[in-house]
Amino acid sequence: TYAGTKETVKNALSLWGRKVGEASRKAEDLSRNTWQHLRTAPSMTEAAVGRIAQGTKVLAEGGHDRIFRQAFSAPPDEQLRKSYACYLSTSAGPVMGVMYLSTARVAFCSDTPLSYEAHAGDNTEWSYYKVAIPLHRLRAAIPSASKVKPAEKFIQLVSMENHEFWLMGFVNYSSAVVHLQEALSGFHNLQA
């Protein structure tokens, strides 16, 4: 009947409209997060080139899983769940890298080696900046945003020893928050 067809078309258009609206919101979030990610670096050009270099490294080395396994000597039974481009806040400024979330830990590794003076300033050495916290030693993953600049979003990781690590400039902030909190609550539920 005409009324049934009209209702079917109306429902289909309504569903399509909701999906377009949702896709638009996701695209806006991604655009805003990418812009914030690039602004977090001391130089936007360096950040953009760094992201391209990271993408090339991921392709050349066989994916985030292989990079994670190499960087953190992960055993075969540890599975990488997610990886997120972000920065680690340090006293020397933000360090661009990737946060890895596995079945056993949350970890961060800088995209490039950083220089430091070794042996009382005798020579400069280079090393990747790495942080790894086993999930059973992770007390909290706390999302927050700057009160002055709400687009600046952070995730504070707190270990059982009260060490704090601040991650920021996520390209996919909402997903990182959800997956970190799921992993943390799931792991703590298994321990209980």
Q: pLDDT band at 39, cuts 50/70/90?
A: low
pLDDT value of position 112? 84
SS3 84: strand
| Better-scored residue on pLDDT, 45 or 113 | 113
Averaged pLDDT, 158-162? 95
**Which pTM value belongs to this model?**
0.74
Averaged pLDDT, 19-40? 60
Domains assigned to the chain: 1-190 (2.30.29.30)
Q: pLDDT band at 192, cuts 50/70/90?
A: very low
Residue 143 burial by Cβ neighbours in a 10 Å radius (0-12, 13-18, 19+): middle
